[in-house]
Amino acid sequence: QKEEEKKPHIKKPLNAFMLYMKEMRAQVVAECTLKESAAINQILGRRWHSLPREEQAKYYELARKERQLHSQLYPTWSARDNY
């Protein structure tokens, strides 16, 4: 049981929307003067949905690369390991 506690927590690879949020959060915070995370997330969500497919495709490609890298680094990892 103690050995399991010592294992480092491996996070899931980020999806396309999370990568978009990570990149755009600072810009939205600077524009809006809002401090509440939930309000900022709502704005980011609306912006994500209004993006053209070509723009979203860039983030989907980044997410695909991140998933590939994650599976190379942690070949036996499963999302169930975190629960």
Mind listing the pLDDT tens digit for each residue in 3-54?
A: 555 667 788 999 999 999 999 999 999 988 878 899 999 999 999 999 999 9
Convert the pLDDT of each residue in 60-78 to its tens digit. 999 999 999 999 998 888 8
Residue 66 is predicted with a pLDDT of 96
Closest by CA to 19, choosing from 52, 48, 40, is: 48
The CATH fold assigned to 16-73 is DNA Binding (I), subunit A (1.10.30)
pLDDT at 63: 97
Q: Going by C-beta distance under 8 Å and a sequence separation of 6 or more, which residues neighbour residue 74?
A: 10
For residue 83, what pLDDT is reported? Answer: 65
Report pLDDT for 32: 84
